[in-house]
Amino acid sequence: MDLSVSVDDRIRALTTALADAVPGSVVTLRGSRAAGTEDEFSDIDLRWGVGTIGDRALESLPSALGTIGTVESLRLDPDEERDRRLVFVRFTDWSLFERVDLEVAGGFGDRAPSWVRPWSPAESALMNAVAAVKAVGRGRGDVDGLLARGAARLGAPPPPGSVAERIDAVVEAAVRADPAQRALAARVRALVT
């Protein structure tokens, strides 16, 4: 992870890249960072208002994000709403805690962007493990529920043991389910140690 770039710099770069991708669009910070209550575990929540060209904005997203860094994962939430889409972005050299949760607000048609791939239950389970690490670090949150939901995504029962053992069990199950997730699994394990 590149520690020479601050989270504020990353947010500025994201805001600029999105605004440049769709002239006239509006990018706003949301969540704990907007409220000034962020901590070392906070992700980056943004809202991108794109007006009536939601489909075109979504289509432009990979190239816009590519101006900032290497995109490790770009996922579109499969739950669609008429006037918004939720996109999850992870950059290769950013902390797993710095995932970008991007709400794209605008008008959308019925077709998915060309970059959309099938939702990976293994990747989702690993992100549940990351959320569990955050909950432990913050001393609050539903660690048991997060790990149980992560295991359930993989068709596994809730894992037994200590929190570290349960996180490891979810990570192992995710790699067994989808060996392509090995690199992400290693990053999640590094958070625990």
- pLDDT tens digits for the chain (193 residues)? 555 789 999 999 999 999 999 999 999 999 999 999 999 999 999 999 999 999 999 999 999 999 999 999 999 998 878 899 999 999 999 999 999 999 999 999 888 899 999 889 999 999 999 999 999 999 998 999 999 999 999 999 999 999 999 999 999 999 999 999 999 999 999 999 7
DSSP for 125-178 reads: HHHHHHHHHHHHHHT-S-HHHHHHHHHHHTT-PPPPSSHHHHHHHHHHHHHHH-
User: 149, exposed or middle or buried, with CB in 10 Å at 0-12, 13-18, 19+?
Assistant: middle
What per-residue confidence (pLDDT) applies to 110? Answer: 85
Tokens of 123: 């990747």
Nearest to 101 by CA among 115, 85, 87, 111: 87
pTM over 0.95: no
132, 143 Cβ separation under 8 angstroms: yes
